[in-house]
Structure 1
C-alpha cells in the first residue's frame, strides 16, 4: 500500500452542482414502464476472489466526470452527479455499476431515462435500447447521501472518513463505490474530471491538477512546529479540534475542478475537504508539486513535507524512469486512521503524519501500483514489494540501514511464519496486506538484484515502468520482462521466493 499499505509500513497494525434535466426524456421511477431490453447482461463481477463481487464486465470505462457537492456534517454530506463514458465489449441489454449506501434519483444512458434497481452493492441499469457491442456510451447517475466507511473484518476501516473539519478519502482496495458509481476494480482504469463544491472557508483537494491555483483555507497557515524528529507514526498526537456540524455557517460555497489526464484505478481516487495549509511549486526536476497539511496535525511542517516530496520524487524518477503523471505531492489530514494511501499524484496520510520512510514508500507507488497497476489483487506484491524495496533504498541513501542489512535481518528470522508460510505471489485475501507481501516481496527484488547485478536490475525496473506505463500487469509479465532484459532464466528464483512455502535458499 499505501492505502492499507501504510498500515504495514507504519507498523500499526484510508448548493449542488448537477447536470440539467433532459426535457425530452423525463426520469422514470425504477419500476415504471416496460421491462426494457432483454438478453444477456454484462457480468456483475470481474471474478477476483480477493474482492468478491467487485468490478463488472461487458464494458470498459474511458472517463469519469464527477460533480460533487460536499457539506461535511450535513444530513446528506454528498450530492453528486457521475457521468461515465465507456465502450461496450458485448451487447448490453443491461449492465451493472458498483455502488453502495447512497440514494439514486435518476439514471440516463446516452441522455435517455433508464430503468434501474439496487441489488446489494450493485446498481443494475436497463437502458431504453440495448447498447451494441463496440459502441461508446455515456451513463449519467444522480445520487445523494452520506457515504459510510467500509468496515471489513479482515481489511479494516477505510473509504470515506470524517475528520474534525471535513472528509478524508482513502479507498484501497474497493471503497470507491461508497462515494461514486463505478467499475470498482483496478483492471478498469480511466481518466477523471472531478468538480468539488464545498462550504466557503474549506479547501477541497483531489487527484491530478486543478483548473485554477489551489490556496489554503482560512486559518490554514504555512505549517506547524514539528515534534521531535524520529517519533514513530501513530505516536504523534493530533491537536484537539472540535468536530464541526454543517460547515455552511459561513455563507457561500466554493468550487474547484481537478483533471486526471492519465488513467487511474478507482481505488486511487480521493477527495479531501478541510482546512489546509497549501504549498505549490515545482521540484528541481520540473514536476509540479502540490502539498497540503492540516495545521492541527503536529509533526509534519508544510515546508519540510513539500521539500521532501520534491526530493524523493526526483530521486525515484532517476532510478525508476520518468515520472508518470502531471504532478506530485502529498496531503496530511487530521484523520484517525493508521495507514497512508498512494492516491494517484498525491498520497494521503492520516493524523500520525508523514515520516520520511513512508513518503518514500507512497511516492514509489506512483510508478509501482498507480502507473503500472495490478490486473488482479493476487499480484499485489507488484505494488507493495516494490514500494517497500524503494523504502529500503531511501533509508540507505539517507544514511540509515543498508538494503543488504534489512534483507539479512529479515532472513535471519527463520521462525517468522507470516513471512515464510504465506506465498507472496498468492497470499490470499486475509494476507493481501500482510508482511509477506511487503517484506518478502522486497526480499524477492533484492535477490533478483543480486542475481543480475545493479545495472541490469535498474534496467529491468525502468523497462517495466516504460512498457507498462498507464496500464495493468501481472507477475508472469514481470518475470518475462526480467528474463528478457537480463538474458537469464529466472523461474527458479521467482518460484521459490513468490510461490513456495518455507524460507528460500539465499
Structure 2
C-alpha cells in the first residue's frame, strides 16, 4: 500500500498499511473466551528451506481448536477426550501480533458473494457462500467468522442445515446443528445486510480500511490487514487464502468491477431497473486483496503480451492522466516479469478512484489507486505485489518484509532497467544520509513488533535488498528473486524460509549478513555495511 504521507527518496515507492483494532475476547452466550496473549515479537525458529509452513491442506496453518463448555444456543454438548462433540474453533488464527485476527478450526478455499447494492442509500444486501474444510483434529461444534457489526446477519446455514449464530462485535459466532467431523467438507452460507463502512483504527494508527464512498456516490473496498470483513464474512488473515467471486446487482447506470475475469454467460436475470455482473478470481489470495468498485466509471482495456485481459476502471474524479497510466500496465508487467518470472494472475489492470483516502493497495489483479498515490512508481510497486504479497503470501504479519521490502525494491529495479538509474549511487546517498540518524536503524525489517510492521520496510527494506544483491552477486540475486515466486507461489511463507532459500541457492551461509541487515536494530557492523561494489 502506498500513502501520500510518506514518499521515498530517489524515486522509491513507500507503502503504509492499515489494520483494524481487534477485540481481546469474544463473548458467546454470556461466556467470554479469552484470546491468546499478544507478544511484541516471536522467537526466531531455525530457518528451513522446505515447503511453506503448513499444518493443513493448501499450505495454511490453522491453530488447534479449544474445548469449551456448552453455551446458550449451542447445538451439542461438551464432549469427551476426543473433543468431537465439544470442540470450539479459536477466535484467532494464531498470529501473536493480532491474536484475534482470523479464526481457527477450519480453512476457507473459496468465497462466492451474491450481492445487491444501492449507492444512493449505501444499502448492501448479500448472501456469501464459503467453501472449505474442517481442520480441527477433534472436529468442531462452534466456530467464528469475521464480520463488522454494522452488517446484520439474518440467516446462517452450515452444510445445508440451519445453524444458530450470534454477532459479538466483529465476530460472527456460528453453532452448527450437528458436530462437524475432522477433515470434513465445510459449506457456510451467510445472509446479511446493512450499510458498509470503513473500519476505524489501523496498524500503528495509520488509518482506516474497508468500504469507502466516492465523491460521485459510488464505493470501493481497500484496507490492509482489514478490509474484507467490512463487506463479507471472512477468515480475515493471510494465513487462510481462498479464491473469490462476486455477482453484483446495482441500479442501471452504475458499473461494477472486481478482482479477476468478468463472466458474462449464465448470469441471473436482474430485477427491473437493475443490472448484474460477475467477476471471478480463481487464484487463492488473502482476503484483504479482495475488492469491488461500484461507480459511473469508464474502462481502459487491453491485453498482456500473452493475451490475458487488462481492464482498468477510471473514476470520473480520477486525474486526467489516469487512462494513460492504465495503458502502461502491460508494459510494467512485462518489465517485472523479467525479474520475477511469469505473471501469476489471470488478469491485470487497476482501479483509479480519484478519492482522497491517501493510499493505494495491491488488491489482486487490479490494484486500487487514490489521489496522490496514482503515479507510475505506485503502479510499479503495486503490480510487483502481484508476485510478492499476492501470489506468495505471508504466513504472519511479522513477515511483511516479504511483501513490502520487495515491492519497494521493484521500483529501484524498474528505474535501473527502464531509465538506466545508477542504483549503487542511490544506495550510497541514502545510506550516507541515514548513518546520521540512529533512529532509522532501530526498527528491524523482520519481527519488528506489533504496530511497527509498516514503517522501515519501505525505505530501509530496499536498501537492505540492494546490499544483499551486492553481497551475493547479480547472478545469484536475480535467480533467487525469480525462483522464490516459482517455488512458493500459491503458498504461505516466512522470512526464515526466504533466508534458508538464499543459503541453499548460493551454497553459502549468509545468516549473519541477513541478520545484520534485516533483523538488526543498529547500523550493520563494518564487515557487512558496504558489500561488494558498495564499498568502492
Q: Where on the TM-score scale, by shorter chain, does this alignment land: which range?
A: 0.7 to 0.9
Residue 251 of structure 2, aligned match among 199, 202, 215: 199
Q: CA deviation at 1:7?
A: 8.0
Alignment of 1:280-291 (within 5 A): 280-291=301-312
Residues 169 and 271, structure 1, Cα contact 8 Å, conserved in 2: yes
Distance 1:97 1:77, change over 3 A: same
Residues 45 and 54, structure 1, Cα contact 8 Å, conserved in 2: yes
Q: CA deviation at 1:401?
A: 4.1
Residue-by-residue CA offset, 1:16-37 (whole Å, 9 max, x unaligned): xxxxxxxxxxxxxxx9977545
- Counterpart CA distance in 1 for 2:175 and 2:417 is 56
**Does residue 308 of structure 2 align to residue 262 of structure 1?**
no
- Counterpart CA distance in 2 for 1:36 and 1:403 is 63
- State which drifts further: 91-100 or 51-60: 51-60
State the match for 2:516 in structure 1.
Answer: 496
**Does residue 86 of structure 2 align to residue 42 of structure 1?**
no
Alignment of 1:411-430 (within 5 A): 411-412=431-432, 413-430=434-451
SS at match of 2:371: coil
Q: CA deviation at 1:3?
A: 8.2
- Counterpart CA distance in 1 for 2:88 and 2:523 is 46
- Counterpart CA distance in 1 for 2:504 and 2:287 is 32
State the match for 2:236 in structure 1.
Answer: 184
- Counterpart CA distance in 2 for 1:83 and 1:401 is 49
Residues 128 and 232, structure 2, Cα contact 8 Å, conserved in 1: yes
Residues 5 and 341, structure 1, Cα contact 8 Å, conserved in 2: no
Residues 159 and 188, structure 2, Cα contact 8 Å, conserved in 1: yes
Residues 7 and 339, structure 1, Cα contact 8 Å, conserved in 2: no
State the match for 2:126 in structure 1.
Answer: 80
Residue 479 of structure 2, aligned match among 456, 459, 476: 459
Q: CA deviation at 1:341?
A: 0.2
Distance 1:367 1:167, change over 3 A: same
State the match for 2:219 in structure 1.
Answer: 167
- Counterpart CA distance in 2 for 1:271 and 1:265 is 15
- Counterpart CA distance in 1 for 2:114 and 2:4 is 27
State the match for 1:157 in structure 2.
Answer: 208
Residue 489 of structure 2, aligned match among 469, 488, 492: 469
Residue-by-residue CA offset, 1:328-358 (whole Å, 9 max, x unaligned): 1111013221110000001010123521111
- State which drifts further: 371-380 or 118-127: 118-127
Residue 146 of structure 2, aligned match among 89, 92, 98: 98
Alignment of 1:243-392 (within 5 A): 252-302=273-323, 304-352=324-372, 354-392=374-412
State the match for 1:65 in structure 2.
Answer: 112
SS at match of 1:363: helix
- Counterpart CA distance in 1 for 2:376 and 2:206 is 25
Distance 1:206 1:416, change over 3 A: farther
Q: 4+ runs of 1 displaced by more than 4 Å?
A: 2-8, 10-14, 31-35
Residues 238 and 286, structure 2, Cα contact 8 Å, conserved in 1: yes
Residues 219 and 293, structure 2, Cα contact 8 Å, conserved in 1: yes
Distance 1:33 1:427, change over 3 A: closer
State the match for 1:208 in structure 2.
Answer: 260
Residues 99 and 180, structure 1, Cα contact 8 Å, conserved in 2: yes
- Counterpart CA distance in 1 for 2:381 and 2:318 is 21
- Counterpart CA distance in 2 for 1:5 and 1:432 is 16
Alignment of 1:96-175 (within 5 A): 96-101=144-149, 102-152=151-201, 154-164=205-215, 165-175=217-227
Residues 106 and 141, structure 1, Cα contact 8 Å, conserved in 2: yes
- Counterpart CA distance in 2 for 1:371 and 1:347 is 14
Distance 1:383 1:12, change over 3 A: closer
Q: CA deviation at 1:2?
A: 4.8
Distance 1:5 1:47, change over 3 A: farther
- Counterpart CA distance in 1 for 2:133 and 2:154 is 24
SS at match of 2:328: helix
- The number of equivalent residue pairs is 451
What is the TM-score of this pair, normalised by structure 1?
0.85
SS at match of 1:156: coil
Residue-by-residue CA offset, 1:46-98 (whole Å, 9 max, x unaligned): 13233341101111111111111111241x52111111111101200111111
Distance 1:423 1:461, change over 3 A: same
SS at match of 1:430: coil
Structure 2: unaligned runs, 5 residues or longer = 19-70, 79-85, 266-270, 531-536
Q: CA deviation at 1:410?
A: 2.1
SS at match of 2:461: helix
- Counterpart CA distance in 1 for 2:123 and 2:168 is 23
SS at match of 1:441: helix
Residues 387 and 485, structure 2, Cα contact 8 Å, conserved in 1: yes
SS at match of 1:105: strand
Q: CA deviation at 1:493?
A: 1.3
**Does residue 142 of structure 2 align to residue 89 of structure 1?**
no
- State which drifts further: 382-391 or 307-316: 307-316
Alignment of 1:428-447 (within 5 A): 428-434=449-455, 436-447=456-467
